[in-house]
Amino acid sequence: MKASTLTKLDMLAAEREAVLLEAIRRHNAVLKQNEYQRGVLESYRTRLAASWQDGAVVSAGQARRAGQFAAGALGAEEQILAAEARAMGQLEATIADLAKLKAHRRKLAERLRDAARKAEALAETRAERDRPFRPARRHS
């Protein structure tokens, strides 16, 4: 394969690598956001539990809203965990794709170095061949 083709392939691979690195950054951001959301939800639950445990009298409306919150919190937690699992799966797949791409780029770089060595050897051979022949002088 020509060196110019190998260079173009490497440029395309570099662009793909940048896209994968950005995807990894996004997946990590989603995971951090999910972790934050789980923390907020847990904080609310803790505060709600503490409000029930202090022995204060609460109205029926407050109890109903607390029950609705508890039910909604379970649904929210399921959504957060599902989003986290999706993001983790996507992150792992993207990391695997990046590893394959880096291996591919190493092979391209090796082939490019080989092509450069062959071109240099060919240029030296041509330079030798194109030199005018000068017979050795005899000293008399």
Q: Residue 45 carries which side chain, given as an amino acid letter?
A: R
Q: Residue 24 carries which side chain, given as an amino acid letter?
A: I
Residue 108 CB coordination number (10 Å): 20
Least confident of 75-84, 88-97, 112-121, 125-134: 125-134
pLDDT tens, residue by residue, 51-105: 767 666 767 787 788 778 878 888 888 999 999 999 999 999 999 999 999 999 9
Q: What is the DSSP string of 107-139?
A: HHHHHHHHHHHHHHHHHHHHHHHHSPP-PPP--
Rounded distance between C-alpha atoms, residue 96 and residue 105, angstroms: 14
